[in-house]
Structure 1
């Protein structure tokens, strides 16, 4: 039979907790109706806490009798982060790792008719499973699509088409298609494997058919090759894609067919001339993107991914870094379609700080030897899964091994570097057509371990002309809630474009939720994808589009409610982005601080909180007189939405949900997520400033500011100027409650110095003013707790060399 694949995102029930023994029981009163994608933490308003524990899902799946004897599987595109899958009470699969797709073979567990699927999920921190740390929120759940697949016992394997273009010019491109064929039958089969290349308008080539014998219960890769004359090259300005349709037959009978899109292009990262695409220099300028979002958290739809990619394209940028984990496969597909290069990244991830085991503040690499083998294998497995499911996307120009893995305990830094090198080589083995990058490689020699170095923060000024292909993988310029400032203030000299640098990637496109208190507010748009002032500054700079007239304070008299679409599908892949605005008597939006409630009056549409949701300044979900929220429906029909606010004329809107009509029962929507886990704190003796970014007034060559946060390096910072007013500022990156600072000078402090801290990055408060000391090389300061994100030491008369600054 020819394969069939369909989404089964609707009609799930969910309950918090582990529910041991519930795999073959009927749901009780503590089970609630939900649709996928789903997160444990709904609604998500960027609260600092999140639920850590178990959650269970169940759904009935109907199997026609004609399917029995075929290959039947469940496809999960992302579950965070450990899951067990049961069918009719029988364990059929288990997967560890929160960011990569996988399938579960249920062929032998199903019966004709109704089948009960039960999935137990947990997001418990695991010392043997990556990531062990990261500046993000690690919410649990089946937060990406789930599909049911049925195919022949003789078939093309799941993601079993690998398309490459070994030779490309503007006149001709060779196309190689490696087709992985599976034979689940008890006897060998003779298969004919064929493939056709096409673009949206016509067939452009047929690859010569290959006949092979596939042994019983085995698989084999069949190589096909052809060519396209005068190919249309994929480029951000012309994102042309081709399609390969591969098919297999036995004795003249078709057994399976699959399609895969690909693009024709060639590219190169160079150490001295930057990046080239199709033989032409292209200056890369882009943004980092996290997947979580206002209200729905990690559980975004494909429509929301499409909008996210569209917003980056609208800015005039040309590359996205998928920070800092493999994204939904549809993300790369949208980059292909809309024309954005994509830096696809693995989650070997560090955060620094207290370095506490038991939560996502830990050493990026395990500190206990017993945890090492499973941890390393979790990254090898994830790398294989990421590359297999995303290898055909022309937008992807590198596989990145991770981000800031140098935030590993000094005792295991050698092992962390060895693992990075191993993963680089594994990426080469799995995909020889793309280079492997190391992201966040600005400390401890990680930058030379891959083909491309991605420098974060002060790496932009620490590594000038490093002699290897490189770019700035993160640079900062904005912070805070609400509209913010218009002009972006770049740091660390990143505004200078060097010929040897391939480009720069802004941190970050959108606000995000993080385990680090005070983090995640560096977006050009906020958590609800409302463009901030800086978004328009970038668009004006890159595309020449003048900013809109920003709202002024005023008195609203009514609400205006609009949607980005009139129709939404009921299969969980789409939604409607609703925008509500507070307007004056002329219909002009004004800055008004009244909360707005959105309510579903008709239809089965849902917000992340159920049938209604409130947007308000208190939750930062409404500012500048507007707020946005995404609506879904898993049942067809009109969805009538009412927007209300105290003292204002209400507004209504109707969007239509489309899809098959099914018998429905009364739905019970889940309550807000329970908060059960608080992060540990105060247990670490690692300096919070260790290997953090450093800004300075000036620095002599070989004595950069980063020397002052490199633990035990034997180097020191020295100002290039010997005039009054020189300073060094250590950026802890997140606000911490601190109570101790140690300063180690490289020379006796014969000049006065001043120590200050800042919680917001703008206002500094004096902590200590010191007079010259002839004998002491260090200062040890203890003080009552204060909140600090920056620690600055300045010199009113003459600078003093600093070996290290430590913060606890």
Structure 2
């Protein structure tokens, strides 16, 4: 890659890990693959990331845990040329993630095997390559085990071709920490692992330079901030170099100012640069206090968190980077500041976005230990799987905690087996990264002694139990690792009380609770409550990232921007209810009902305003009322249903700051609109546009009671990724080109091709004139 600027323009976020420079080459390897499901049959062309399960028909026999989508065995193959000039270099493939049990063959030889489906790994191709001619790569993926949630199947994250000098910085071979930070100066400690894959010893110079957020060299008193070390390497060995840099008046990484520096590691031999490796990092301090909770850069804040699975509706787990970015930007605007990756390490691109947008992250190794499907692998694999997570992710400033397990069977054992196991895992993580604390997330019924092992303890659905325990164990640092989104428990040892006091209230009332992570932030495939539901429908955001009425409470309390929601309880709402304690009352942002008898309806208005006024369809004014006088900052208004318009107005210091309204629609949808979040896409074969489709009546009022069938056809430079509506009970496969709207809405996802031109999206809605949306790709 001679033209670094061109590489950045093409790959955008992809270059954050290891941009090409000097003799180091890093190329995207996602294109021109072929795939076959099963041991026999024909191959077809696919593009990575790829999830074969999300393309299949729903099969009730596959079970609700997987969203009724089968796994199986899949084969990938790709032919590729390696230039003769790459000879005497190290050539490898870096896989961001394959789910799972991946066996890799090159030119007819088995060269590697990787079991865990959520960790990245590097495979050395060098000894098996044919230089200057075609090479045949095959990968067998075995998704035979059943997880507790939808995992997807296949090579569902990016793949990179990497070429380095035989003497180079090892993959994920830098470890950057900032052990001392003051307003005037910060110490940057760099531990670098250098690999010599030659059969001869060698001597090199390892040089570290610091770049600012614009890529410019950082200087102090007119001189570059730099460290140099001469290193002798034995043949086919690795060695570590420890160096320190001092940064004057450092700019701190923060949620509102996620500033990142970059360590530039240069290896020189005989005066020539043979490798260059870039490590973005942030200067920031993190503190968990037993009495005061969480601090970032010595500023107290609450972790306003969401647990997330990695799938994204019709995309399955093969989530293009733009979908990650869009999701996180929406959650950031909502008021979320923390993400728990449940229950597995995320993609490196996801963490790059958390770094650059400004999120705090709990990075979690896995769900169970010696129970469930992981039981047979624990003894042989736990160390490798944890190491893969920590070593890859420990330079991300967004990561504040390592989680070593969730809802473990060991937590309920009377003997010390679980204690010893938890201590073993925590000690190992501390060896790999002493700069961060370690936590566990526990379910109701755990043993006290087990809960006292890790640095931080996460309580799942147990706010009263946490408060009870804190009195017994005042030294314990704790947070809510999973909370119900609406109801809460009120007894210490019973998590199902269905109390309307939202669990977030407990976090606000007790300073020592570091924060809470709602289960879950976004609806996901799998963990179905039963056919025909294909997944988890109880989040404040559906799979399209459309905000539901149940999210209004959190928007009001997590966001400083004035907010006033307007929602009507509709007990006849046709929605997937999900599992009992994760439910919320059926609510709609609408004033259209079939009643002719002026029956009383309950209107809820969550708000962070001082006062709220309501105007009914007759123009009668109610209020002002103060949200803080009501549970969950949510005023409840009881109003008879009369067609027309309802308006609510929010005030601060006596001045109107926001308002909302709902209006009765007609009974028939007569037109629809299309709105793309991006009308111009990069011609990189990766970029996405999310197109919102909404139905309206003859007066231009949104209509939710007359859903219609939608058909999408795509022509030109791109492809249709799928159609979503937020409805978990869909019968059409996720890859279908047709789908009915749900509550008057649908979302179309298209992906750009790799050539400049136009992408035409033709949309036909039952009973209406078709429309065409033209997107530019360039």
Question: TM class by shorter-chain length?
Answer: 0.7 to 0.9
Check if 1:642 corresponds to 2:645.
no
Q: Secondary structure at the match of 1:195?
A: strand
Q: Classify 1:476/1:500 alpha carbon distance in 2 versus 1 (closer, same or farther; 3 Å).
A: same
**How far did residue 40 of structure 1 move?**
2.1
Higher relative contact order at CA 8 Å, sep ≥6: structure 1 or structure 2? 1
The 2-side partners of 1:587 and 1:68 are apart by 66
Check if 1:380 corresponds to 2:380.
no
Check if 1:440 corresponds to 2:459.
no
Contact kept in structure 2, 1:49 and 1:515, CA below 8 Å: no
Contact kept in structure 1, 2:404 and 2:440, CA below 8 Å: yes
Q: Secondary structure at the match of 2:707?
A: coil
Map 1:301-700 onto structure 2 (within 5 A).
301-349=320-368, 363=372, 366=375, 371=376, 374-406=377-409, 414-440=416-442, 442=444, 443-445=446-448, 446-464=450-468, 465=470, 466-467=473-474, 468-478=476-486, 490-491=502-503, 494=506, 496-518=508-530, 520-543=536-559, 544-547=562-565, 549=661, 553-554=665-666, 555-569=668-682, 571=684, 573-585=686-698, 587-603=700-716, 605-608=718-721, 619=730, 622-636=741-755, 637-658=757-778
Contact kept in structure 2, 1:246 and 1:258, CA below 8 Å: yes
Contact kept in structure 2, 1:233 and 1:240, CA below 8 Å: yes
Q: In the alignment, which of 167, 181, 186 is matched to residue 199 of structure 2?
A: 186
**How far did residue 551 of structure 1 move?**
7.7
Contact kept in structure 2, 1:478 and 1:522, CA below 8 Å: no
The 1-side partners of 2:268 and 2:234 are apart by 15
Check if 1:124 corresponds to 2:144.
yes
Q: Classify 1:441/1:616 alpha carbon distance in 2 versus 1 (closer, same or farther; 3 Å).
A: closer
Aligned-residue Cα RMSD (Å) equals: 2.7
Q: In the alignment, which of 26, 30, 36 is matched to residue 15 of structure 1?
A: 36
Contact kept in structure 1, 2:262 and 2:281, CA below 8 Å: yes
The 2-side partners of 1:169 and 1:197 are apart by 18
* Farther-moved stretch of structure 1 (273-282 vs 560-569): 560-569
**How far did residue 440 of structure 1 move?**
2.5
Q: Classify 1:633/1:55 alpha carbon distance in 2 versus 1 (closer, same or farther; 3 Å).
A: farther
Q: Secondary structure at the match of 2:112?
A: strand
Which residue of structure 1 aligns with residue 586 of structure 2?
none
Provide, for residues 154-211 of structure 1, a one-character-per-residue CA deviation record: whole Å limited to 9, x for no partner.
1111111211111111211000111211111121111111121121243224222111
Q: Classify 1:587/1:181 alpha carbon distance in 2 versus 1 (closer, same or farther; 3 Å).
A: farther
Q: Classify 1:596/1:11 alpha carbon distance in 2 versus 1 (closer, same or farther; 3 Å).
A: farther
Contact kept in structure 2, 1:595 and 1:615, CA below 8 Å: no
Q: Secondary structure at the match of 2:558?
A: helix
Contact kept in structure 1, 2:466 and 2:478, CA below 8 Å: no
* Farther-moved stretch of structure 1 (291-300 vs 536-545): 536-545
Q: Secondary structure at the match of 1:427?
A: helix
The 1-side partners of 2:253 and 2:514 are apart by 19
Provide, for residues 108-163 of structure 1, a one-character-per-residue CA deviation record: whole Å limited to 9, x for no partner.
222223222111001112xxxxxx853x1133211111111111111111111211
Provide, for residues 659-684 of structure 1, a one-character-per-residue CA deviation record: whole Å limited to 9, x for no partner.
xxxxxxxxxxxxxxxxxxxxxxxxxx
Map 1:721-736 onto structure 2 (within 5 A).
none
Which residue of structure 2 aligns with residue 671 of structure 1?
none
Q: Secondary structure at the match of 2:409?
A: coil
The 1-side partners of 2:663 and 2:318 are apart by 31
**How far did residue 569 of structure 1 move?**
4.1
The 2-side partners of 1:619 and 1:516 are apart by 13
**How far did residue 54 of structure 1 move?**
0.3
Contact kept in structure 1, 2:527 and 2:536, CA below 8 Å: no
- 5+ unaligned residues in a row in structure 1: which ranges? 20-28, 126-131, 351-356, 480-486, 659-808
Check if 1:31 corresponds to 2:43.
yes
The 1-side partners of 2:311 and 2:431 are apart by 32
Q: Secondary structure at the match of 1:303?
A: helix
The 2-side partners of 1:286 and 1:342 are apart by 9
Map 1:259-298 onto structure 2 (within 5 A).
259-298=278-317
Q: Classify 1:414/1:38 alpha carbon distance in 2 versus 1 (closer, same or farther; 3 Å).
A: farther
Q: Classify 1:66/1:489 alpha carbon distance in 2 versus 1 (closer, same or farther; 3 Å).
A: farther
Contact kept in structure 2, 1:326 and 1:345, CA below 8 Å: yes
Provide, for residues 437-462 of structure 1, a one-character-per-residue CA deviation record: whole Å limited to 9, x for no partner.
11235522332121000101025435
Which residue of structure 2 aligns with residue 148 of structure 1?
161
Provide, for residues 715-758 of structure 1, a one-character-per-residue CA deviation record: whole Å limited to 9, x for no partner.
xxxxxxxxxxxxxxxxxxxxxxxxxxxxxxxxxxxxxxxxxxxx
The 1-side partners of 2:359 and 2:746 are apart by 28
Contact kept in structure 1, 2:35 and 2:43, CA below 8 Å: yes
Give the TM-score of the pair, scaled to structure 1.
0.72
**How far did residue 333 of structure 1 move?**
1.3
Which residue of structure 1 aligns with residue 218 of structure 2?
204
Provide, for residues 673-712 of structure 1, a one-character-per-residue CA deviation record: whole Å limited to 9, x for no partner.
xxxxxxxxxxxxxxxxxxxxxxxxxxxxxxxxxxxxxxxx
Q: Secondary structure at the match of 1:141?
A: coil
Which residue of structure 1 aligns with residue 151 of structure 2?
138
Aligned length: 616
Which residue of structure 1 aligns with residue 14 of structure 2?
none
Greater fraction helix: 2
Contact kept in structure 1, 2:504 and 2:516, CA below 8 Å: no
Contact kept in structure 1, 2:54 and 2:152, CA below 8 Å: no
**How far did residue 414 of structure 1 move?**
4.5
Contact kept in structure 1, 2:413 and 2:447, CA below 8 Å: no
The 2-side partners of 1:108 and 1:189 are apart by 21
The 1-side partners of 2:662 and 2:679 are apart by 27
The 1-side partners of 2:434 and 2:401 are apart by 11
Provide, for residues 586-632 of structure 1, a one-character-per-residue CA deviation record: whole Å limited to 9, x for no partner.
554321443343423412533346xx889979629732311123222
Which residue of structure 2 aligns with residue 93 of structure 1?
112
Contact kept in structure 2, 1:551 and 1:591, CA below 8 Å: no
Give the TM-score of the pair, scaled to structure 2.
0.75
Q: Classify 1:524/1:86 alpha carbon distance in 2 versus 1 (closer, same or farther; 3 Å).
A: same
Contact kept in structure 1, 2:365 and 2:405, CA below 8 Å: yes
Q: Secondary structure at the match of 1:397?
A: strand
**How far did residue 234 of structure 1 move?**
1.1
Q: Classify 1:532/1:437 alpha carbon distance in 2 versus 1 (closer, same or farther; 3 Å).
A: same
The 1-side partners of 2:417 and 2:152 are apart by 28
The 2-side partners of 1:158 and 1:404 are apart by 32
